[in-house]
Amino acid sequence: MGDLATLLLPSARAPRYLEKAAWVGHPYMSDVFISYARSTAKEAKAVADALRDLGYGVWRDDELPAHRAYSDVIEERLRLAKAVVVVWSAEAAKSQWVRAEAEAARESGTLIQLSIDGAKLPMPFNQIQCADLTGWDGDVRAAGWRKVAASIAELVGGPSKAEPASATAPRRLSICVLPFANMSDDPQQEYFSDGITEDIITDLSKVSALEVSARNTSFQFKGKSVDIPQIARQLGVSHVMEGSVRKAGGRVRITAQLIDGVSGNHVWAERYDRDLTDIFALQDEISEAIVGALKLKLLPQEKKAIERRGTESVEAYNLYLMARQYLVTGNDGDARNGEAIVRLCRRAIEIDPGYAGAWALMAKGQGTQRTVFGGEGDGGLAAAERALTLDPDLAEAHAVKARLLSLDGRLSEADAEIATALRLDPESHEVNASAAGLHFRQRRFEDAIRYWEKAAALMETDFSAPGMLMTCYTAVGDRQGALRAAQITLVRAERVVAQDRSNGKAMSYGAGALAMLGERDRTREWIDRALLIDPDNLTMRYNLACALAVYLHDSDAAIEILGPVLAKPTPEFLDYAKVDPDLDPIRADPRFTAMVAAAEARLAAGS
């Protein structure tokens, strides 16, 4: 596979690549890449000139070498840049190329953002600090410029007349909790270290005097070598927390350290060696130690909220985290995936019947079994209702119930449930993805786009949300939006497939993204590989058929791959196919209509 810049900026699309750019630095060793929309070339030039005044070399796009392809140079500079300055404007926010470059910089930790007109930033960039240069006249004393210059000095090094980092340090106490590293001998234990990180983020978020970066913001740095002051400056936080987890047998070792974001000095550090049965008390202890190190006062109700857990059973909690890991892989086309979720959650519930989170997650797994494989029973509705009886404020349970109600055609009830879920936890990935799915099934694509955009921003490993955005943007005629979503989908799908080569759903979304981007040969390679590895994955087959139909316009291949899916569909699967705009290109094909009619007859006959 190619590197990130190659994936985001395929050379086949060079003629349309006309919306940027200036670079700062030696022409063969670029230090700073400036991304901007063409209408703000004047402002981008002012930024470049100001950087030259600070002692950095400047290389402009009007000096592109005549002997090299424009796209090749763009690609190279983005990859080699030590800092990527994105000049946001209303036009830039709509530009697929600016957004793609910003995404590449965010992934590599080189992103510096500034806004020249106060336009709303697209997700997830609206969750990262952005310097305000609205109306900037080139004054290097302006607070916004000092912030930009100091960030560049931090990333690039070298000469700079910017004021020291402390001059722009945030005043309010804020923290980013980086994903704790899994130090266990078994790499499969990563679900546990991720769960510990998420719980600490959740606990600290309950402290009113402390601003806490969201999970999706912190998890973008997972597995990367990081520079703490750089991250603090990029996110605009005063402190950063990092640590590690080693779990073996009945023991757990957690190391944690709190670091000052400006100086890089340790404010607090501790190592804990405990029995696994003490994990909840240990999490409380770590959260309270952070609060104490920051000299904050923990209110009684906040302390009570931190100490409240969904279960008191460590064994049930561990099983729940294992089940959730199966969920986040996204491979719901593999029957074993849903079966594992249900089996693990059922065992967790046997241990603690009052564990609402486990009931809700089991309902999710049962719902997938119903929609994809025709599982028996109510598809998880009873489990969702049990979760809500135990915890009426559990947003994920409302979201699962909404999905199940919609499958039964109870749309007004489903809408009410999802509205409740969004009110209870508007930052939940599961809730936003469910809301998007409800709107999609009603062909309300603009509404679906809004929620899938947020879901994609909230979970950095989620390839399904940007994959569905490809479909929605195509349906509403927004080609630039579809291309941007395809670029993100491909990066995420490749990352998942590199870790799990049997993830059929990720392969199918990757193939769809390649098809959207016009990479026909690579699309065929991905399709062939997917069908060889997991030919019985019906969700994967369905997605591949969609890619062939809507992006490659190959009706014959689409119908051939779709055959086994419609040979044994669930009612929910068939209903979904009837509203999916990706299948519109073959909807009038006599072969497709015959397949649908035969599927309806089999379902009516109960066979």
Q: How many CB atoms lie within 10 A of CB 94?
A: 16
User: Rounded CA gap, 392 and 16, in Å?
Assistant: 51
User: Rounded CA gap, 199 and 192, in Å?
Assistant: 11
- Sheet of 83-88: strands edge to edge? 58-60, 22-26, 29-35, 83-88, 111-115, 131-132
Q: Residue 518 region, left (φ>0) first, then alpha (ψ -120 to 50), else beta? A: left
Contacts of 605 (CB under 8 A, 6+ apart): none
pLDDT of residue 56: 64
Q: Is residue 89 helix, strand or coil?
A: coil
Fill in the amino acid letter for 273: D
Q: Which residues make beta-bridge pairs with 344?
A: none
**CA 100 to chain centroid:** 14
Question: Has residue 525 got a pLDDT over 70?
Answer: yes
Average per-residue pLDDT in the chain?
A: 82
CATH of domain 467-607: 1.25.40
The answer to whether domain 4-168 and domain 467-607 are alike in fold is: no
Q: pLDDT higher for 600 or 160?
A: 600
Question: Has residue 606 got a pLDDT over 80?
Answer: no
Looking at the chain, the whole-number percentage of residues with pLDDT higher than 90 is 31
Fill in the amino acid letter for 24: V
Q: At what angle do helices 445-458 and 479-499 cross, to 10 degrees?
A: 40
Q: Which residues make beta-bridge pairs with 131?
A: 114
Q: pLDDT higher for 602 or 12?
A: 602
The vertex-414 CA angle with 411 and 415, nearest 5°, equals 85
Q: Is residue 166 helix, strand or coil?
A: helix
Span 105-128, pLDDT tens digits: 787 778 889 998 888 888 788 878
Where residue 191 falls among pLDDT bands split at 50, 70, 90?
confident
Looking at the chain, the whole-number percentage of residues with pLDDT higher than 70 is 87
Span 215-274, pLDDT tens digits: 778 887 887 777 888 888 878 888 999 999 998 878 889 999 999 988 888 899 999 888
Where residue 71 falls among pLDDT bands split at 50, 70, 90?
low
What's the average model confidence in pLDDT over 552-578?
Answer: 89
Question: Has residue 60 got a pLDDT over 50?
Answer: no
pLDDT of residue 375: 65
Span 272-300, pLDDT tens digits: 888 888 888 888 888 888 888 888 887 78
Q: CA of 53: how far to CAs of 45, 58, 132, 138, 188, in Å?
A: 12, 10, 20, 11, 51
The domain 4-168 is placed in CATH, from the list 3.90.320.10, 3.40.50.10140, 1.10.10.10, 3.40.50.880, at: 3.40.50.10140
User: Rounded CA gap, 522 and 517, in Å?
Assistant: 10
Residues 105, 108, 114, 117, CA torsion sign:
positive
User: Rounded CA gap, 496 and 582, in Å?
Assistant: 24
pLDDT of residue 65: 46
pLDDT of residue 11: 29
Where residue 76 falls among pLDDT bands split at 50, 70, 90?
low
Each domain of the chain, given as residue ranges in start order, spans 4-168, 174-309, 467-607
pLDDT of residue 587: 92
What's the average model confidence in pLDDT over 517-539?
Answer: 91
Span 128-173, pLDDT tens digits: 888 889 888 888 778 888 888 877 777 766 544 444 333 344 446 8
Question: Has residue 12 got a pLDDT over 70?
Answer: no
Span 332-349, pLDDT tens digits: 777 788 889 999 999 999
Residue with tokens 């930052």: 427
Span 474-504, pLDDT tens digits: 999 998 888 889 988 998 999 889 888 888 8
Q: Which residues make beta-bridge pairs with 253?
A: 246, 273
* CATH superfamily, region 174-309: ABC-type transport auxiliary lipoprotein component (3.40.50.10610)
Q: pLDDT higher for 413 or 80?
A: 413
User: Rounded CA gap, 533 and 396, in Å?
Assistant: 33
Q: Is residue 158 helix, strand or coil?
A: coil
